[in-house]
Amino acid sequence: MTVLVVDLANVVGSRPDGWWRDRAGAAARLLARLAALPPEVPGPDGAVLGVGATVAVVEGAARDVPRPDGVSLVRAPGSGDDALVAVVGELVAAGREVLVVTADRGLRARLPAGVPVAGPGWLRDRLDA
């Protein structure tokens, strides 16, 4: 089973729906939708992806949002990118399969070699299905 690690700020910012007026509210809404993600979804390659756990990295104004059941939160005290790289490194070192969701090219370049990445559009499509 794959651990889905979500760069929440990046996914929230991928859709111009007024999120900038209430960053914490937008993060909470997205987290609620992540909590409802089914355990099997079409993966980025089209094959079935078994989601064993979802980890969302939150930062800034979203750092204090409530954690919904079914989603683990990493509350970044500083850079969300630094926190995400650290948690992915820990998961990979523990032998877990990981899929990171972000469009941030700089962040992608910092991930451990071989870690697959999907863009926010892939996740949004899964959540909208």
pLDDT in tens, 6-60: 999 999 988 777 776 788 899 999 999 999 999 999 999 999 999 999 999 999 8
| pLDDT, position 28 | 94
Q: DSSP character for 111?
A: S
**pLDDT tens digits, one per residue of 86-128:** 999 999 999 999 999 999 999 999 999 999 999 999 999 999 9
CB-based burial label for 128 (10 Å; 0-12, 13-18, 19+): exposed
**Structural domains in the chain, sorted by start:** 2-128 (3.40.50.1010)
Closest to 30 in 3D by CA, of 51, 52, 9: 9
